[in-house]
Homo-oligomer: A and B are copies of this chain.
Amino acid sequence: MLARYFPILEWGKTYNGQVLTSDLVAAVIVTIMLIPQSLAYALLAGLPPVVGLYASILPLVAYAIFGTSRTLAVGPVAVISLMTASAAGAVAAQGSAEYLEAAITLAALSGVMLFVLGVLRMGFLANLLSHPVISGFITASGILIATSQLRHILGVRGGGDTWPEMLGSLFSALGEVNVWTLAVGVPAVIFLFWVRKGLKPLLMKFGMGARAADIAAKAGPVAAVAVSILAVMAFDLAARGVNITGAIPSGLPPFAVPSTDLSLIQQLFIPALLISIIGFVESVSVAQTLAAKRRQRISPDQELIGLGASNIASAFSGGYPVTGGFARSVVNFDAGAQTPAAGAYTAVGIALASLFLTPLLFSLPIATLAATIIVAVLSLVDLKTPRQLWTYSKGDFSAHMATILITLLAGVEMGVIAGVVVGLMLYLWRTSRPHAAIVGRVPETEHFRNIKRHDVITVPHVLSIRIDESLTFLNARWLEEYVLEEVAERPELRHVILMASAVNAIDASGLESLEAINHRLKDAGIKLHLSEVKGPVMDKLQRTHFVDELNGKVYLSQDRAFAEAMRDAGDDAPPPGDMARGMI
């Protein structure tokens, strides 16, 4: 029981020297990668760079205690940073103390929400986000993030929460472009793109192993950071208008207290909920991918608790919302991390960096950080998915495109909400019009098939309908309409058989519809039969009066039901074989 809420108790029992070595190696590699990334994402969130470091220390320790994934690395990530900027920007101006307080409060709120959802085992709520909606949201966020960082490459002021706003402010500032900033930013972008695509093959050509080459390539941003710091110092670029990071306060994260101002909490409530859900969905899918590779398990409900604890830890140490990041988790995994302890060691590494390394970062150009963000998020933009969705399902395609468009045009929060609403509406629409087929018997067999697709035996006074969906309130009305419409068209009808082989459940509304159909058919002098009802469904039906009141019978097999209905009407069942086809 205790181990369920504290997974550390389980893996801690078998911790030994060998695992320690693996974890330490992974921690060193991840630390090196995390330093520039944390600074960059804090910039994206509109926060002082050091806040990115703060958000990469205690949250990792909290996750190591409560998380169920062995290799997930939590910390600031791009999409959540953008959402933080959007939510905090709505209540305060960037750079103000209120803005930082809003970010900290967002982390606290999101942490509490995730924690509570986890304790209540409500992880299923994340299901409201379908894959097309999530991927649309991430593509649009990637575009928004990359666009928002262009101003740092150009060395101009700018802003905006939506794409048109961002583009507008960029265009109107084109006259103020700083060429020295451009001279740092553009090579940085090109170098980082090359590192992603070209460095790994090059290193492997020089005899490096594939895994090592991969990890070395991930350290590319560190090289870009080092070179651009040296360039700034060598050419005194700060004096030429290149924005630099400036003095970063050295030291461990401060003890921070989230705001208890109710009106602020009210304003941040919905954004915090959206940040929680998006963060959870992303994190769980990363954790599942990695766990499956080693045949390990994660528990989504406990993950909610782990991420909740991480965000609460982030809030109380001056950080902002965090979640499990894809890139850093993959590096952690590939570098050989065995347990969440690797995360705790990474935290120590980042803490050391924020104690001793920050003076070195004084001359780091903002343009370099923007370049690392742009290169990282452009890989989020996925142009293959729309095409695949178009081929597979027009409805899912619409949900995907609606999410992209609304996110670009109305911002991240509206984008997520619209995606959920469109996805649900589409689902309800589909479920409310399920597939059903009028079936007949395939000659010389006991099989029943769709009369539209197959050459089958039917008789005018018996109607067999196969329903390919569970009967719930979403389609109960459809069922009544469908059956009664088909009945109204057949004046000779005396028997209706509902073939329930694909009905996995019947809720109270479905049951009431069946009762209504039964009563109405009785009024019209028609018998209603059921066939091939599944075991669990029949168990539930037998707890009601429905079976007693049924104006016909429940048959185990459709074949038997059809044969009896034919006989009852005075006609003999046709003998097997083609003779029977005369009756069609």
A interface, CB within 8 angstroms of B: 124-133, 284, 288-289, 291-293, 295-297, 300, 388-389, 391-393, 395-396, 400, 423-424, 427-430, 432-435, 453, 468-470, 472-478, 480-481, 484-485, 487-488, 491, 502, 504-505, 507-509, 511-513, 516, 520-521, 523-524, 534-536, 540, 543-544
Contact = CB atoms under 8 A, between A and B. Distances in A.
A126 B428 CA distance: 11
Given A488-B296, A544-B391, A476 B512 contact: no
19 contacts: A124-B429, A127-B474, A129-B473, A130-B509, A132-B473, A132-B508, A133-B473, A292-B520, A293-B523, A296-B488, A300-B477, A392-B511, A393-B507, A396-B507, A427-B474, A427-B507, A435-B536, A469-B470, A502-B504
A127 B300 contact: no
Contacts of A434: 504
A476 B429 contact: no
Given A127-B473, A432-B124, A481 B288 contact: yes
Contacts of A478: 124, 127
Contact of A392 (B296, B453, B540): B540
B131 A393 contact: no
The 10 tightest CB contacts between A and B, nearest first, are: A130-B473, A292-B520, A396-B508, A131-B509, A124-B432, A131-B512, A468-B504, A130-B509, A293-B523, A297-B488
A125 B124 CA distance: 24
Determine how many copies of this chain the complex contains. Answer: 2
A67 B391 CA distance: 40
Contacts of A535: 453
A513 B512 CA distance: 34
A543 B131 contact: no
Contacts of A432: 124, 127
B543 A392 contact: yes
User: Which secondary structure dominates where chain A touches chain B?
Assistant: helix
A429 to B, nearest CB: 6
A433 B434 CA distance: 20
A514 B485 CA distance: 37
Nearest to A508: B396
Contacts of A389: 508
A130 B510 CA distance: 9
A215 to B, nearest CB: 19
B393 A508 contact: yes
Q: Which of A295, A470, A491, A521 has the most CB of B within 10 A?
A: A295
A521 B293 CA distance: 8
Contact of A293 (B391, B474, B477, B520): B520
Contacts of A543: 391-392
Given A468-B504, A477-B126, A485 B297 contact: yes
B288 A508 contact: no
Given A504-B502, A540-B393, A423 B293 contact: no
A468 B485 CA distance: 29
A392 B428 contact: no
Given A288-B484, A293-B523, A392-B540, A130 B427 contact: no
A544 B388 contact: yes
A520 B289 CA distance: 7
Contacts of A393: 507-508, 540
B293 A524 contact: yes
Given A131-B508, A289-B520, 17 more contacts: A127-B477, A130-B507, A284-B477, A288-B516, A292-B484, A292-B523, A293-B523, A293-B524, A295-B487, A296-B488, A297-B484, A392-B511, A396-B507, A400-B508, A430-B505, A434-B504, A435-B504
Contacts of A521: 292
Contacts of A427: 472-474, 507
A109 to B, nearest CB: 21
Contacts of A523: 292-293
Q: Which of A125, A133, A488 has the most CB of B within 10 A?
A: A488
Contacts of A469: 470, 504
Nearest to A477: B127
B132 A509 contact: yes
A512 B257 CA distance: 41
A460 B507 CA distance: 36
Contacts of A429: 124
Contacts of A284: 477
A509 B419 CA distance: 14
Contacts of A516: 288-289
A124 B479 CA distance: 12
Q: Which of A124, A389, A484 has the most CB of B within 10 A?
A: A124
A333 B300 CA distance: 56
A511 B391 CA distance: 13
Contacts of A474: 127-128, 427
A395 B508 CA distance: 9
A81 to B, nearest CB: 24
A480 B524 CA distance: 48
Q: Which of A127, A391, A434 has the most CB of B within 10 A?
A: A127
